[in-house]
A and B are shown apart, each in its own frame.
Chain A
Amino acid sequence: MTDNSNRIFWGVDCGSSEIKVVALDPAGKLLLKRKQKTLFPLRDHVHHALAGEDGDLSPFEAIGSDVIKPGHKIVATGYGRKYVSFADDALTEIKAHFIGVEQQLDLKKAYSIIDIGGQDSKIIAIDHSKVDQFIINRKCAAGTGAYIEELGHRLEVSLADMTALARNNDKKLSLNSFCTVFSGQEVIKVLMNGERVENIIYALYSSVVKRVMEMTAITTDIVIFSGGVLTFHPKLVEMFTEKLTEINPEMETILAPNAQYCGAIGAAIYGKTT
């Protein structure tokens, strides 16, 4: 029987853009968080993300080993969850993000989570501490991190600079298309017409907000933002908040603590409770 006080619960969120790892102690204290780009073979890179560098806290007995140390438990989530052969368990990112947010914020009220990831966007409605319903973007990349990255690439703007640029807009330009390719063509057209990049970035964010908001009607008074895209694009959070408040003046919005790691934290907590 393992001494519970020595246990460490690992959560690994194998996203399409990045692998996120957290470790929790039995009390739920966050011991570490680390991430790396999602590369292939996925299994090897997930292993590396968990193991860290030499001397780091690791769930493995030795470097290169799949043998898990006694007392350590790994739960995987995200699109790559089924490819983590050394994980003890797996759960979907819907449930993982819910648990991650729920445990960190303990809201005790109905709320919704907006999570924008590399390849998908999700809206999860929580009621009575249970997932009431959820929806994932359908059919194309619009409204996801991939959409922002693609158009950022076309504009030759780094992701880190986007928020500052969008805050310097001088008009509320909009992109009409919600297909990444069509939007790209539209961006080229407005660039050729001499439009400022600041206004185009604003339009790009605006189209993400529109695309996500049309996925479902949000009926709660609280919205929590999670996921990497919203962590690194504060202007996008501001624009979501503006739109949500326009629809519901009572709306309260919160960027989740450790927003990019909510899925991994949820997976680790799941491991702790199962």
Chain B
Amino acid sequence: MTNVMKDYFLNLDAAAKDPERKVAWCTSVGPAEILRAMGFEVYFPENHGAMLGATRVSSDTIPVANANGYSPEICSYLTSDVGAYMKGITPLTKAFGITEVPRPDILVYNTNQCKDVMHWFEYYAKEFDTPIFGIHPPTNIPDIRQQYIDDVTRQFEELITFLEPIIGHPLDPEKLKQTVALSLEATTLWSEVLDMAKVRPSPLTFFDGTIYMGPIVVLRGTQIAVDYYKNLLAELKQKVAENHAAVKKENKRIYWDGMPVWGRLRSLSNIFDENDACVVASTYCNSWVFSDFDPEDPLASMARAYIKIFINRNDGFKENYIADMVRDFHIDGVVFMAARTCPNNSNAHYNLPRKLKERGIPTIIIDGDLCDLRCFSDEQSTTLIEAFLETI
């Protein structure tokens, strides 16, 4: 894994320094396939935000963004990342010897997750004087309608027209088909990786998944991601064959809804492990399963896949989705992580835990955040999780 991510970032760094190559910044569930098929190297600021959180560098960078007009109440990926830029630091330096994030030639965002990505990318568009393009799909939808797909497909077509003069050539339709085919293959393998946790005892945890998911976020549409997940799947199958348990005395199986608390992955993992509980499935890791990709109909299938994501759906869909996951993964209880700075990815706010409880599914809400550890109490979270595990 380290090598895959290292090569990815070194390649990006080289591309940013090469005037012949172009770097596109893209949101994590943005139209990466179009960018990749056109020849852009694709960088994902949200991935950088997660790195800032996981390394806890964000504790130093968020206050810098706050002091420069970005509220502590908005996305802490944004404030971590913008603060890091303002401070002139990146965890890529320590990890891979890269001195700064690759400068963009184009910024492309998709508001299918939230509008904070728009504000985030607009900051950099102004800062770097770089062209920017936003995809604005319908949001919070109960079901997928053809008009939604047509709308987003049209926006993708406009994006392609916008990108052609920047990259200097038209989109090769065959190349797009190949890229979508690779994305489909990688995402199918990723789904199979996550499904290995249906086995009891599970060979992987949600916390493992947050590390394993790197390539499906930043390298989908490449053979590298496909190869990585083929190998990972084989490894996990081997573990299952050997009855290898990620949590040695797996006794309870938990579902995690919401973002990871990046700066507390290890300690949270330990709490569950010490209490013989395995977090076997999550909304978050499954958010990069795009089974609708179709190489024969690339743009419309991408439109469908990227509209359909969990975060972009209404509450009824979310309730049924989690209930289905609870059934399929033999879950004993659901932990909702209510992220202070990410209301869109915090599903405890509109009574969903209680609705699930009415369906016989135990739930608990812990307060926290993806990157801002000022919003997270280790003591209270530990007590809540342990008390929850005691009661289910």
Contacts and interface: CB of A to CB of B under 8 A. Distances in A.
B44 to A, nearest CB: 30
Interface string B92-119: 0000000000000000000000000000
Interface in B360-392: 362, 365, 367, 375, 379-380, 382-384, 386-387, 390-391
Contacts of A29: none
Given A138-B367, A139-B367, A79 B383 contact: yes
B367 A95 contact: no
Interface residues of B, number: 15
Nearest to B392: A131
Contact of A136 (B375, B383, B390, B391): B383
Interface string B299-321: 00000000000000000000000
Nearest to A134: B387
A220 to B, nearest CB: 16
Nearest to B377: A139
Given A133-B357, A139-B367, A95 B391 contact: yes
A126 to B, nearest CB: 10
Interface stretch (A36-44, A86-94, A106-114, A183-191): A86-94
Contacts of A130: 391
Interface string B340-366: 100000000000000001000010010
Chain A contact-residue range equals 10 to 19
B391 A91 contact: no
Interface in A44-91: 79, 82, 91
Q: Select the residue from B340, B362, B382, B383 with max chain A CB neighbours within 10 A.
A: B383
Nearest to B363: A133
B87 to A, nearest CB: 28
Contacts, number: 36
Contacts of A95: 387, 390-391
A120 interface: yes
B357 A92 contact: no
Contacts of A136: 380, 383-384
Contacts of A79: 379, 383
Q: Select the residue from A79, A91, A92 with max chain B CB neighbours within 10 A.
A: A92
A82 B384 CA distance: 14
Given A130-B391, A134-B391, A138-B367, A94 B383 contact: yes
Given A133-B357, A138-B367, A139-B367, A93 B383 contact: yes
Closest 7 CB pairs of A and B: A94-B387, A92-B387, A131-B391, A92-B386, A95-B390, A138-B367, A92-B383
Interface of B: 340, 357, 362, 365, 367, 375, 379-380, 382-384, 386-387, 390-391
Interface of A: 79, 82, 91-95, 120, 130-134, 136, 138-139
Given A95-B391, A131-B391, 14 more contacts: A79-B379, A82-B382, A91-B390, A94-B383, A95-B387, A132-B391, A133-B357, A133-B391, A134-B391, A136-B380, A136-B383, A136-B384, A138-B365, A139-B367
29 contacts: A79-B379, A79-B383, A82-B382, A91-B390, A92-B383, A92-B387, A92-B390, A93-B383, A94-B383, A94-B387, A94-B390, A94-B391, A95-B390, A95-B391, A130-B391, A131-B390, A131-B391, A132-B391, A133-B357, A133-B362, A133-B391, A134-B387, A134-B391, A136-B380, A136-B383, A136-B384, A138-B365, A139-B340, A139-B375
